[in-house]
Structure 1
Amino acid sequence: MKKLKRYRFFFILLLALLVTTLVNQTTAIKAVQLTGKSIFDMLLLLPPIFLLVGLLDQWVKKETLIRYMGEKSGIYGIFLTLLLATVAAGPLYIAFPIAVLLLKKGASVRYMVFFLGAWSTVKLPVLVYEFTSFGPRFTLIHICFGLVFYYLTGILFEKVYSKQKILKYDLKQEV
């Protein structure tokens, strides 16, 4: 029973797909095709990211990371986090393994929340698109408000959650 409970969300989605198939087969076929494409894309992106995370784990010394992204890194932590997020490529789910690695190496919770938010806001392709589509004024306002919001959210997370609590969380404990 515990095994079934673990996959309850999957079964709910499977049931929804079955109902959709009964109502409209064309929509169900499109849903299955989109799901397959998304899974394929994810399977292409995740192995290189895990390889990169493994290499970063070996190459970056814990002391160095603590100095530049630790609790007392100050403005260096903000700029390094912003730089990492700006040059990032790929969807947001790629950022999570990187964030976990950086947390394990001693980075502050504040900077990891800021990193995840900045990843979705200030990537170079996103900036170029916003600048050309919406103009410099919108882009500047969006970036400034977004970064301030993510930094303040990071401070809040740091006060509510300890790094150990975040790293200890295990999905197996939930089941």
Structure 2
Amino acid sequence: MTKLTKLIKNYKLIFISIVLYSIAFFTKPEIFFRGLEMTKGFLIEMLEVMPPILIISSLITVWVPSEVIMRNFGKESGIKGKLLSIFTGAISAGPIYAAFPVAQALFLKGASIGNLVIIISSWAVVKIVMFMVESSFLGLSFATTRYVLTIPAILIMGYIMEKLVSREDIIDEIEDKDIVYENEKEVLRDLPNMNCGACGYSNCKAFAEGVIKGEVTIDDCVIRSKAKEYA
């Protein structure tokens, strides 16, 4: 695999976006500039939201014992895990994409796939703040009815996902066992980039340098090893 092919594979969504933007620029300039403005707003929002979310995810990884996550969000957590997952998503703040770093941290600590789906879905559509805003615009009966219908649907979706997707499926998607790293940037692409320090290095960049120097292997990343442990 050439470097260009590897680059395109790793950043295929970015390349697709560039191609689509280029087509729009030459065929519909007004759509191009409108899209550019929306992208700018989205990036600014991400810069405001993501840093604290990543800090929270790192704190979950370092401070919260795996046993606690497994007991409350794991596969054997039962109805308690489902209720806690709904509650976690319902009290969350920030846009839906902020849920994914938190979900990854919980996954690597042993949370079940079903409960992750419930957290992400609750984060998206059953927030407490959303209920207050929704009822003020559309009425209490509308908001209550929608929530009553939405929560069972989320639970069903979590159950189905648990049956269709395994932990191994997720790990295989994010891990390439045959890769040979040529520089720190390539290592960083396969790290969680939470800078938790659990590996003994000050941050993920320092750890990546250690991988290239042969001081450690990428599997010495504590977060990655946790994913394998609970697979």
TM-score where L is the length of structure 2: 0.67
| Structure 1 residues 145 and 18: CA distance shift in structure 2, 3 A | same
Which letter maps to 2:128?
A: L
Q: Is the 8 A contact 1:100 1:167 kept in 2?
A: no
Write the mapping of 1:4-23 to structure 2, written as runs, cut at 5 A: 5-6=8-9, 7-23=11-27
Give the one of 11, 29, 46 matched to 2:33.
Answer: 29
Write the mapping of 1:1-175 to structure 2, written as runs, cut at 5 A: 1-3=4-6, 5-6=8-9, 7-170=11-174
Q: CA deviation at 1:35?
A: 0.8
**Root mean square deviation of aligned Cα:** 2.2
Structure 1: where are the runs of 5+ without partners? Answer: none
Q: CA deviation at 1:26?
A: 3.8
Which 4+ runs in 1 deviate beyond 2 A?
3-30
Moved more, 117-126 or 11-20: 11-20
Q: CA deviation at 1:71?
A: 1.7
Structure 2: where are the runs of 5+ without partners? Answer: 178-231
- 1:83 and 1:89 map into 2 onto residues whose CA distance is 12
Q: Is the 8 A contact 1:86 1:118 kept in 2?
A: yes
Deviations 1:20-54 (A, max 9, x none): 33344444322212211211221222122111111
Q: Is the 8 A contact 2:8 2:15 kept in 1?
A: no
Aligned residues, how many? 174
Q: Which residue of 1 aligns with 2:215?
A: none
- 2:142 and 2:154 map into 1 onto residues whose CA distance is 18
The structure showing larger relative contact order (alpha-carbon pairs under 8 Å, at least 6 residues apart) is 1
TM-score where L is the length of structure 1: 0.87
- 2:141 and 2:42 map into 1 onto residues whose CA distance is 34
Which letter maps to 1:35?
A: T
Structure richer in helix, relative to its length: 1
Which letter maps to 1:2?
A: T
Q: CA deviation at 1:81?
A: 0.9
Q: Which residue of 1 aligns with 2:218?
A: none
Which letter maps to 2:36?
A: V
Q: CA deviation at 1:11?
A: 3.5
- 1:126 and 1:159 map into 2 onto residues whose CA distance is 30
Identity %: 27
